Structure 1
Amino acid sequence: MDPVIAEFAQIGIVPEKPLVADIEIVEKVDSISIAGVLNGSVLLACTRCLGQALHNVAIDFSAEYVTEENFPSEAELEVTEEAFDLGLYDGTSIDLAEVVREQILLDIPERVLCRDDCGGICQKCGSDLNVESCGCEEVQADPRWSALKELKN
């Protein structure tokens, strides 16, 4: 099994079907530019019910790679958006699987839902509220948080 796919499986990212990458590599005098598009879909765990949630992947990306001798020193490196796309390579090869891996990880939203109205899991009995109503009493919020609830209303 591909190490990237194995790592994804460990953290709950399962490609629904093979992802398609269209990558252009341009060798320059002192660097290598990589630009591409990554398309496909992955299955993730819903943050409310832990069921499967489909996440469509459509990523445009670019990166610039330089050797260590061409990498700017800390004094020369200005923190800009372009600086985050600057990477090191050994002068002979770049692991494109690692580039794709990073792009997928950066694309995953913080909150993934299987559907907009996902009911989640009952805090008392653990029932999937999308499948069945459990009949448990609603959990009362800690009264110390009531001031925040008033702000929401």
Structure 2
Amino acid sequence: MKIELKKLNALQHAVLPFSEVIDLKDEKMYGRNPFQSPVYVEGEVSNESGVLRLKGSIRTVYSTECARCLKPLDIPLEAEADMILSDDPEAEEEDDLFVLTGDSVDPADVLVPALILQVQMTYLCKEDCKGLCPHCGADRNVTECDCESRQIDPRFAALRALLDNDKGN
């Protein structure tokens, strides 16, 4: 949804509210498409004594999996933004400044990056998740496996054999 700013520039202290549902199903992150739920965007664009400002919020569900046991997770995500809109192409990039490329603004262009910044690299199903056994793949939260708990890296097997020989002598 594009918001035309010409009307807003003409009126001092004018406010244009916006509310929409956007689709981010094709947005890729870490090789996946995690935004399969609707994305809700709402807020307002205002003219405050000649300064255009966009205030808004965005919320959705981020679909991922536990970093240890690979259990599917749905994480509620939410972000807010309060940005000054500038049409000066020479303006410096700042945290609270959005440079316009025309006479309109799409609130999603401002709010989606704020949402993506809320995404963490990894998520856990629970803080004490035991993960998967690296040898048999069993979920250690559900069952205990019979794999030896102290596996030796095969690259060090020759060293282990030397240590075993020294103990035997």
Query: Could you state the TM-score of these two structures normalised by the residue count of structure 2?
Result: 0.60
Task: Provide the rounded CA distance (Å) in 2 between the counterparts of 1:118 and 1:12.
Answer: 24
- Structure with more of its chain in helix, by fraction: 1
Cross-structure match for 2:62: 42
On the 8 A contact 1:31/1:64 being kept in 2, the answer is: yes
- 1:14 aligned onto 2:45: no
Cross-structure match for 1:61: 81
Distance 1:13 1:118, change over 3 A: same
Letter in 2 for 1:84: D
Runs (4+) of structure 1 moved beyond 4 Å? 28-31, 139-142
Unpaired stretches in structure 1, ≥5 consecutive residues: 78-82, 143-153
Task: Provide the rounded CA distance (Å) in 2 between the counterparts of 1:141 and 1:112.
Answer: 29
| SS at 2:57 equivalent | strand
Distance 1:85 1:5, change over 3 A: farther
Note the alpha carbon deviations across 1:89-125, whole angstroms, 9 max, x for none.
Answer: 1132223333232122111123311223322122222
On the 8 A contact 2:56/2:111 being kept in 1, the answer is: no
On the 8 A contact 2:78/2:115 being kept in 1, the answer is: no
Task: Provide the rounded CA distance (Å) in 2 between the counterparts of 1:68 and 1:141.
Answer: 62
Which shifted more, 4-13 or 105-114? 4-13
Cross-structure match for 2:127: 116
Identity of aligned residues (%): 24
Task: Provide the rounded CA distance (Å) in 2 between the counterparts of 1:122 and 1:12.
Answer: 27
Query: How many Å apart are 1:29 and its aligned residue?
Result: 6.7
Query: Could you state the TM-score of these two structures normalised by the residue count of structure 1?
Result: 0.66
On the 8 A contact 1:12/1:44 being kept in 2, the answer is: no
Task: Provide the rounded CA distance (Å) in 2 between the counterparts of 1:124 and 1:54.
Answer: 28
Unpaired stretches in structure 2, ≥5 consecutive residues: 1-21, 154-169
Aligned alpha-carbon RMSD (Å): 3.0
Largest Rg, 1 or 2:
2
Alignment length (residue pairs): 131
Cross-structure match for 1:71: 91
On the 8 A contact 1:4/1:101 being kept in 2, the answer is: no
Note the alpha carbon deviations across 1:50-105, whole angstroms, 9 max, x for none.
Answer: 22122122322222221234614xxxx8xxxxx22222111322233332321221
